[in-house]
Amino acid sequence: MSDTKHFRVSLKRSGIGRPENHKRVLKGLGLTRFGKTVSLKDTPAIRGMLKKVVHNGRITRTSDQV
C-alpha cells in the first residue's frame, strides 16, 4: 500500500441551477450523477476544484486509494 493521500468525494446535491463553471468542475472531478462517489489524489489542483464545489458533496480524506 502506498502512503499517498486521497479524497473520497460523493455528490449529494445536483449541479442543476448552479453556475456553468461549477457544472464543469463537477464533471472534471468525475461527479456526473447524484450519489456517485469517486476517489481522487490529494493535489493542489484537486483541492482547488473541491473548494469550488464543496457545498455540493461530502468529502472524506483517506490515507490510501479506496
Q: Which domains does the chain have, with CATH numbers?
A: 6-62 (3.30.1390.20)
pLDDT of residue 4: 79
- Helix or strand run (H / E) with residue 60: strand 57-62
Distance CA 2, CA 25 (A): 27
Assign 13 to helix, strand or coil: coil
Q: How many CB atoms neighbour CB 2 within 10 A?
A: 8
For each successive 10 residues of the chain (66 residues), what is the average pLDDT? 81 93 95 93 95 91 72
C-alpha cell of residue 7: 479524497
